[in-house]
Amino acid sequence: MDEPALIRNAQNGDLNAFNSLVLSYQVIVFNTALRILGDEDQAADASQEAFISAFRALNSYRGGSFRAWLLRTVTNACYDELRRKKRRPTTPLEPETGDGEDIETPRWLTDPNPLPEQHLDQEELEHAIQHCLENLPTDFRAVVVLADIQGLDYGEVAVAVRTPVGTVKSRLARARLRLRECLQGFRELLPAAFRLEEERGL
Amino acid sequence: MTTSSFRDVEQLSAFLDGQLSQAEKSRLETRLKQEPALTILLGDLRNARSILHQTPKRTVPRNFTLDPHMAGIRPPLPRLVPAFSWASAVAAFLFIITLGGNLLGQFSFGPAAPMLAVAPATSQGSGLGSAPLNATTTPASDNSLYTPTPEAFTLMAPQTTLPSENRAIPPLPVTKSLNNPVNIWLLIWPGLALFLLGVAMIIRWLTLVKFRRRVNKK
């Protein structure tokens, strides 16, 4: 069944039709939440919340990009989660060294079994990207995640974050500039093609 | 970074996304040919954008599909719900009437109740209550206690009852209450109310069973 028909049926209360939409969009919704929140469990909770809210507010959808409309609900769920985290900050469980000092990186939590080198590189790159994303203000982070990671166009991002296209354009430029500076600190983790290009640029 | 240079970053960022108008695009392309710093900045922004594009997609830890409970879907109400809403109102009304009727009956008939034991004995000349009276008033009637024949009753009755006492005794409430139609309804109303309640519960139960079967099938 095509998407508009599924949306229409879901708007009439057909839960199976809505669940078909959930299966189509759950990867993008979960990954968006993961990049904004930086925590898998919280991202899963936010995604579930987003789908529940989306089903209940489905009649407020009046056409246009359904993906953007759905990502608005997950962005809102993430903002709520971040606000909650800010009100009640938690201390991460980090191991201590023999001297009683905290080990800086939670890499000790990863699987100790040897991994293929490529997989490890990708994992480290992902950590670097996540680190840089988390250093961005929330509004910038949401815009850059939606535009550069999820591939939404400016119009869709504007719908998802409820801001004018001009603001999206400006936030995206600032976010990319900051990310560029941050990612330069992880140059050795970047794929070889990017490193060579950077070196040529320097 | 100055305001004008941030304007350049914004232009370059939009250029990467193909969001510039044709005029803006050609103007920027001309500047890029002339200004190497601008070209380097464009390269950096392109790299940052490309790295973000390469962010690995994680698989979902679980499916986020909703069940009826999560979606807040309640089982449908039976079609007869409006009728049974009225039925419950009627049942409540009947219950109040029954309760009120019982209370009223208790207050009005309550004090007369002890008379029930005496009245039959005095008016018809039979019953246990009449025995002591007979014994004290006329010693000659002692035999009647041991031989309660109908003849004895008819013969003894005028002797045992005094005219003044006969007048003072109120009419029999028992026979009156049995003939009163209100008391029959006091039995019918709660029965009807219980019947309606039972039917409503059965219909609700059948609807729930039907709904659960439909959900499980899906």
Q: Which of B19, B44, B62 sits opposite A180 (nearest CB)?
A: B44
Give, as one character, the DSSP assignment of residue A150.
S
Whole-number Å distance between alpha carbons of B117 and B127: 8
Best CA proximity match to B44, nearest among A82, A121, A59, A202: A202
List beta partners, residue A102.
Answer: A96
Which segment, A70-74, A112-116, A118-122, B43-47, is predicted with the most confidence on average?
A70-74
Count contacts between A and B (CB, < 8 Å): 115
A48, pLDDT greater than 80: yes
Give, as one character, the DSSP assignment of residue A136.
S
Put simply, the answer to whether B13 touches A169 (Cβ < 8 Å) is: yes
Chain A residue with CA closest to B14: the answer is A169
CA angle centred on B33, ends B27 and B34, rounded to 5°:
90
Q: Would you tell me which residues 170-189 of chain A have a C-beta closer than 8 angstroms to some C-beta of chain B?
A: 170, 172-174, 176-177, 179-180, 183
Is the pTM of the predicted complex or chain greater than 0.80? no
Whole-number Å distance between alpha carbons of A187 and B56: 18
Whole-number Å distance between alpha carbons of A46 and A73: 9
Distance from CA of A84 to the nearest CA of B (A): 22
pLDDT 10s digits, B71-124: 877 766 666 666 667 777 887 888 887 777 777 766 554 444 444 444 444 444
A26, pLDDT greater than 80: yes
Query: How many beta carbons lie within 10 A of that of residue A12, not counting itself?
Result: 10
Whole-number Å distance between alpha carbons of A52 and A15: 11
With 0-12 / 13-18 / 19 or more C-beta atoms within 10 angstroms meaning exposed / middle / buried, residue A22 is buried
Whole-number Å distance between alpha carbons of B124 and B159: 13
Task: For chain B, say whether A140 makes contact (Cβ under 8 Å).
Answer: no
Which residues, other chains included, contact A35 with Cβ-Cβ below 8 Å and sequence gap of 6+? A130, A133, A141, A145, A149, B55
In A61-78, which positions are buried (b, 16+ CB within 10 angstroms) versus exposed (e)? eeeeebbbbbbbbbbbbb
- Round the average pLDDT of chain B to a whole number and report it: 70
Q: Check: CB of residue A161 under 8 Å from CB of residue A75.
A: yes
A3, pLDDT greater than 60: yes
Put simply, the answer to whether B71 touches A55 (Cβ < 8 Å) is: yes
Q: What is the mean pLDDT of residues A173-194?
A: 79
B16, pLDDT greater than 60: yes
Whole-number Å distance between alpha carbons of B159 and B137: 9
Confidence of residue B199 (pLDDT cuts 50, 70, 90): confident
Q: What is the mean pLDDT of residues B118-138?
A: 44
Q: What is the mean pLDDT of residues B151-171?
A: 50
